[in-house]
């Protein structure tokens, strides 16, 4: 289904939970609020989560995305769904999510962490049952998880990263067993903490150990200048890079090819401005020479955008990729 | 004695009747006139409350603002407002999008300033959001770069500041909470603040939220304002140690109340903060206030916190006067 196409399209992770217009009956925001004030039950909320998961899967498929996600409809942020299931975390106050005007709840390690049961597998199974296209599973990387957490127990960053890596390894293996053909670890913290690349890689090695399906990382909000080589020297199958937030990654690949799959974030997922098709095509044509497998995507999760901006941006991305695939003669 | 004047950062919690009125207004169930009346009522109440507690420099409480950036964008030319984007968890907001040249049809905040000042003999602060923050918290489909967008906004905010000065404001605060998010753009923030405060004769203040101050200090002292207002209580005044090494050359807005906590701060803690500041600055260069806007607290919490703040200030003043009298008696 997908092997005979040279360039594949994908998304990074989350998808807007709220549509615009008269869809209030299945509005996730209202439903969560109504659950919080006791107007609907947990089961009723679950049904609305499922409806919206199906909706965003259909939307991604109808827009022509090859490798989709479940849209992370249940995710409060990148760490809370996992932290809430891991024993030893307490979910704390709001903290800024990197350099965005967006906040997440900081998990605090209050006792030794322990993985009890999968946090994302049931949702993955449901999403898979709804999807025609390949659906990838997305987890935070151990290093990013550690950076976003506060530690009052281990008091040593390396121990925390490794502990989280072992926990995420259990989660990844459970996802693999549930049929996930691709497991992606999101690593936004790395571009802000380049001096810790060795620790981040050691964490990823542990998190990916024994995982036999396709696996890789996704970096965003910055570039990998200065730290790409050690990342290439790992056994992950693909590396995701952001070509929008800075021009660093483009410069980095100007004189270099990589031997891994490249997840290229080329559509700005943090600004509503629609991409110029010519500039986009030029960038994708440039990148296709750099890797044995190019995955084209937005620069990060789509939740930074209002709903109305998503379809035009994804359509433009797909249209450009189809044009190149069609003419490229790569199949 | 002079000095150690008390003030607040800007926003106050909206009373329940106003919250409800705002919701009714958005659902089309309440007229703009009726909403405006209730906003005026809430403004009167919050000013009266500040006088009663003994705050020296009054704010209008921002009863008529939803959000500190979108509010301005709604009144400026060149902006439209997006659909919902997520702020955190189950919280969403509408974000401005620059779609054309930014301009100002008429003053935005002057009528409210005049109204607030007519209610009290104490000085009312003019409250603006700075160009860097408006830029960082908006989408941009028009300007070629973040710098172009910011400098265009700076001209507009400058015009608004001039109008506030003309209307009699003795203090004008230009909030730049986004400055600490991207330390690499501090030069842009400095460049744009120069434009905003150019030619102003009144006292100018900027509020910056907690971030990587180590990376922007002492550079942030180049911001063209008389006073920098900082969150200090939520890190137990640790930041003041930084100013011991490199002198703080401006007046300080000394955040002494942790606005993200429900419980009322202890008088001892507030006094300790003021005394620590007195070790590096004279009293007339210290303005005592909460860490940030109070709108996320309940009215009861906000007022109880402010009472403690004023009591603590009064006690420190008394102690200082005692010391002075003692010093004079020794002469």
Between CA B63 and CA B42 the distance in angstroms is: 7
Q: What average pLDDT does this structure show over A138-149?
A: 98
Within 8 A of B212 by CB-CB distance, chain A residues are none
Domain that holds residue B10: 5-16+45-329
Confidence of residue A5 (pLDDT cuts 50, 70, 90): low
A-chain residues within 8 Å CB-CB of B84?
A: 16, 18, 20, 29, 306-307
Q: What is the mean pLDDT of residues A187-213?
A: 98
Beta bridge partners of B293: none
b/e sequence B205-237, b meaning 16+ C-beta within 10 Å: bbbbbbbebeebbeebbebbbbbbbbbbbbeeb
pLDDT digits (tens, 9 = 90+) for B242-255: 999 899 999 999 99
Q: What is the pLDDT of residue A213?
A: 97
pLDDT over threshold 90, residue B327: no
Tell me the pLDDT of chain A averaged across its residues: 94
B229 Rama class: left (phi>0) / alpha (psi -120 to 50) / beta = beta
Assess contact for B51 and B24: CB atoms under 8 A.
Answer: no
Proportion of chain B above pLDDT 90, given as a percent = 88
Is there a contact between A287 and A257 (Cβ–Cβ < 8 Å)?
A: no
Between the two ends of chain B, the Cα-to-Cα distance in Å is 19
Residue pLDDT, tens place only, A22-54 = 544 468 998 999 999 999 999 999 999 999 999
pLDDT at B259: 93
Residue B321 pLDDT > 70: yes
Q: How many domains does chain B have?
A: 1
Mean pLDDT to the nearest integer, A180-187: 98
Distance CA B100, CA A172 (A): 47
The two structure tokens encoding residue A45: 């909320």
**B85–A304: do the CB atoms touch at under 8 Å?**
yes
Beta strands in chain B (DSSP E): 5-6, 76-88, 91-104, 125-129, 139-140, 171-175, 203-208, 227-230, 251-255, 286-289
What is the C-alpha to C-alpha distance for residues A208 and A166, in angstroms, rounded to an integer?
A: 9
Q: Are strands A294-298 and B203-208 parallel, antiparallel or unpaired?
A: unpaired
Alpha-carbon gap, residue A175 to A213, rounded angstroms:
10
Q: What is the mean pLDDT of residues B214-219?
A: 89
Where residue A123 falls among pLDDT bands split at 50, 70, 90? very high
Q: Is B182 on the interface with A (CB under 8 A)?
A: yes
Q: In this model, does residue A13 exceed pLDDT 70?
A: yes
B89 reaches A (C-beta below 8 A): yes
Q: Has residue B305 been placed in a domain?
A: yes
Pick the residue from chain B with its C-alpha nearest to A18. Answer: B84
Question: What was the pLDDT predicted at A194?
Answer: 98
pLDDT for B289 equals 98
How does pLDDT run across A68-88, given as a tens digit for each residue? 999 999 999 999 999 999 999
Residue B167 domain-assigned? Answer: yes
Residue B242 has a CB neighbour count (10 Å cut-off) of 13
Residue A221 pLDDT exceeds 60: yes
Residues B194, B150 contacting (CB under 8 angstroms): no
* The dihedral sign for the CA sequence A29, A30, A34, A39: negative
Radius of gyration of chain B (CA): 20
Best mutation site among A93, A99, A271, A276 for testing chain B: the one with the most B CBs within 10 Å? A99
Q: What is the pLDDT of residue A114?
A: 97
Mutate which: B84, B86, B137, B177, vs A, most A CBs within 10 A? B86
From chain A, the residues in CB contact with B139 under 8 A are 271-273
Q: What angle do CA B103, B108, B113 make, to 5 degrees?
A: 150
Residue B325's pLDDT band (cuts 50, 70, 90): confident
The 10s digit of each residue's pLDDT in B41-53 is 999 999 999 999 9
Q: Report which of residues B321 and A206 the model is more confident about.
A: A206
* C-beta separation of B191 from B151 below 8 A: yes
B186-197 helix and B146-166 helix, angle to the nearest 10 degrees? 30
In sequence order, the 6+-apart residues with CB closer than 8 A to the CB of A85 are: A116, A117, A118, A119
CB contact under 8 A, A32 and B87: no
With a cut of 80, say whether residue A329 has pLDDT above it: no
Residues A277-309: pLDDT tens digits? Answer: 999 999 999 999 999 999 999 999 999 999 999
Nearest residue of chain A to residue B137 (CA atoms): A101
Share of chain A above pLDDT 90, in %: 91
Distance from CA of B272 to the nearest CA of A (A): 25
Please determine, for residue A330, whether its predicted confidence score (pLDDT) is greater than 50.
no
The pLDDT score that the predictor gives to residue A271 is 98
Evaluate whether residue B38 is within a structural domain: no
Here the tokens at position A316 are 């433009």
CATH of the domain at B162: 3.20.20.210
ipTM score: 0.93
Segment A200-227 shows an average pLDDT of 98
Q: Determine the residue among A28, A35, A93, A101 to mutate to test chain B binding: the one whose Cβ has the most chain B Cβ atoms within 10 Å.
A: A101
SS (H, E, C) B71-94: HHHHHEEEEEEEEEEEEECCEEEE
Q: Is the pLDDT of residue B282 over 80?
A: yes
Q: Is the separation of the CB atoms in B59 and B7 below 8 Å? A: yes
Global pTM value: 0.94
The stretch B6-22 carries a mean pLDDT of 97
Nearest neighbour of A101 by CB, restricted to B92, B136, B141: B136
pLDDT in tens, B175-213: 999 998 888 899 999 999 999 999 999 999 999 987 778
Q: Rounded to an integer, what is the distance from CA A197 to the centroid of its chain?
A: 19
- Structural domain boundaries in chain A: 7-328
Q: Are B273 and B237 in contact (CB under 8 A)?
A: yes
Record: contact A101-B83, CB cut-off 8 A:
no
**E strand residue ranges, A38-149:** 67-68, 87-96, 103-114, 134-135, 137-140
The mean pLDDT value for B69-80 works out to: 97
Output the pLDDT for position A24. 46
Cα separations in angstroms, A180 against A52, A84, A204 = 20, 22, 18
**Distance separating alpha carbons of residues A318 and B125, to the nearest angstrom:** 51
Indicate the CATH number of A7-328 among 3.40.50.1950, 3.20.20.210, 1.10.3720.10, 3.40.50.300. Answer: 3.20.20.210
Instruction: Spell out which residues of chain B touch residue A101, defining contact as CB-CB under 8 Å.
Output: 87, 136-137, 178, 181
Identify the residue among A45, A75, A272 best suited for mutation to test binding to B, counting B beta carbons within 10 A and taking the highest: A272
Chain A residues within an 8 Å CB radius of B92: 18, 29
Task: Of A165, A265, A255, A157, give the one whose Cα is nearest residue A205.
Answer: A165
User: How much is the average pLDDT of A158-176?
Assistant: 98
Query: Are A77 and B88 an interchain contact pair (Cβ–Cβ within 8 Å)?
Result: yes
Selecting from B84, B97, B181 the residue whose C-beta is nearest the C-beta of A96 gives B181
Per CB-CB distance under 8 Å, the chain A contacts of B182 are: 99
Give, for B45, the enclosing helix (H) or strand (E): helix B32-53
Distance from the first to the final alpha carbon of chain A:
12
Residue B36 falls within a domain, yes or no? no
Give me the residues paired with residue B203 across strands.
B171
More confident residue, B296 or A223: A223
pLDDT number for residue A1: 39
Please give the residue that has the higher pLDDT: either A6 or A185.
A185
Q: From the CA atom positions of chain A, what is the Rg in Å?
A: 19
Q: Chain A residue closest to B144 (CA)?
A: A273
Measured between CA atoms, how close is B35 to chain A, in angstroms?
24
């Amino acid at each position: 289904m997908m092997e005979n196409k040279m360039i594949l399209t994908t998304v990074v992770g989350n998808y807007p939970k709220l549509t615009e217009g008269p869809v209030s009956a299945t509005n996730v925001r209202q439903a969560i609020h109504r659950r919080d004030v006791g107007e609907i039950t947990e089961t009723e909320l679950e049904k609305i989560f499922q409806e919206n998961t199906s909706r965003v899967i259909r939307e991604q498929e109808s827009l022509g995305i090859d490798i989709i996600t479940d849209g992370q409809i249940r995710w409060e942020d990148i760490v809370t769904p996992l932290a809430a299931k891991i024993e030893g975390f307490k979910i704390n106050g709001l903290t800024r999510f990197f350099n965005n005007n967006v906040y997440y709840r900081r998990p605090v390690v209050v006792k030794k962490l322990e993985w009890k049961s999968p946090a994302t597998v049931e949702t993955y199974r449901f999403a898979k049952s709804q999807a025609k296209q390949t659906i990838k599973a997305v987890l935070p990387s151990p290093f990013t998880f550690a950076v976003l957490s506060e530690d009052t127990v281990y008091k040593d960053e390396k121990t925390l990263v490794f502990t989280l890596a072992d926990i995420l390894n259990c989660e990844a293996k459970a996802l693999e067993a549930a049929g996930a053909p691709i497991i992606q670890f999101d690593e936004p913290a790395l571009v802000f903490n380049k001096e810790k690349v060795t620790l981040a890689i050691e964490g990823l090695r542990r998190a990916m150990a024994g995982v036999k399906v396709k696996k890789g990382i996704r970096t965003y909000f910055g570039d990998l200048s200065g730290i790409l080589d050690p990342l290439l020297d790992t056994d992950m199958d693909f590396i995701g890079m952001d070509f929008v937030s800075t021009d660093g990654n483009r410069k980095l690949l100007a004189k270099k090819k990589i031997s891994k799959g490249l997840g290229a974030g080329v559509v700005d997922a943090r600004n509503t401005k629609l991409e110029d098709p010519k500039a986009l095509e030029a960038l994708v044509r440039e990148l296709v020479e750099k890797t044995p497998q190019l995955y084209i995507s937005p620069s990060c999760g789509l939740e930074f955008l209002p709903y109305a901006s998503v379809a035009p941006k994804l359509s433009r991305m797909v249209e450009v990729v189809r044009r190149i695939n069609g003419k490229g003669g790569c199949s | 004695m002079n000095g150690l004047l008390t003030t607040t950062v800007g926003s106050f919690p909206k009373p329940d009747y106003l919250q409800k009125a705002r919701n009714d207004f958005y659902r089309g169930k309440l007229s703009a006139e009726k909403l405006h009346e209730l906003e005026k009522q809430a403004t009167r109440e919050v000013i009266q409350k500040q006088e009663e507690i003994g705050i020296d420099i009054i704010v209008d409480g921002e009863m008529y603002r939803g959000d500190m950036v979108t509010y301005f964008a709604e009144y400026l030319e060149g902006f439209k407002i997006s659909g919902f984007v997520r702020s955190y968890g189950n919280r969403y907001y509408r974000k401005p999008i620059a779609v054309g040249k930014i301009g100002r049809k008429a003053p935005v905040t002057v009528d409210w300033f005049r109204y607030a000042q007519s209610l009290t003999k104490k000085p009312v602060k003019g409250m603006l959001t700075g160009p860097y923050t408006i830029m960082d918290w908006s989408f941009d489909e028009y300007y070629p770069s973040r710098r172009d967008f910011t400098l265009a906004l700076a001209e507009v905010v400058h015009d608004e500041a001039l109008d506030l000065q003309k209307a009699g404001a003795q203090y004008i605060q230009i909030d730049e909470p986004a400055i600490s998010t991207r330390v690499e753009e501090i030069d842009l923030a400095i460049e744009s603040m120069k434009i905003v405060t150019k030619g102003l004769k009144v006292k100018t203040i900027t509020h910056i939220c907690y971030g990587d101050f180590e990376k922007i200090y002492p550079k942030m002292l180049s911001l063209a304002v008389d006073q920098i207002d900082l969150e200090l209580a939520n890190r137990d005044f640790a930041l003041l140690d930084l100013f011991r090494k490199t002198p703080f050359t401006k007046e300080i807005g000394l955040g002494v109340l942790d606005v993200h906590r429900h419980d009322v701060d202890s008088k001892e803690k507030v006094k300790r903060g003021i005394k620590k500041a007195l070790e590096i600055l004279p009293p007339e260069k210290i303005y005592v206030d909460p860490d940030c806007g109070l709108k996320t607290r309940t009215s009861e919490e906000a007022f109880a916190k402010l009472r403690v703040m004023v009591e603590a200030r009064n006690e420190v003043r008394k102690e200082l006067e005692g010391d002075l009298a003692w010093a004079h008696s020794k002469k």
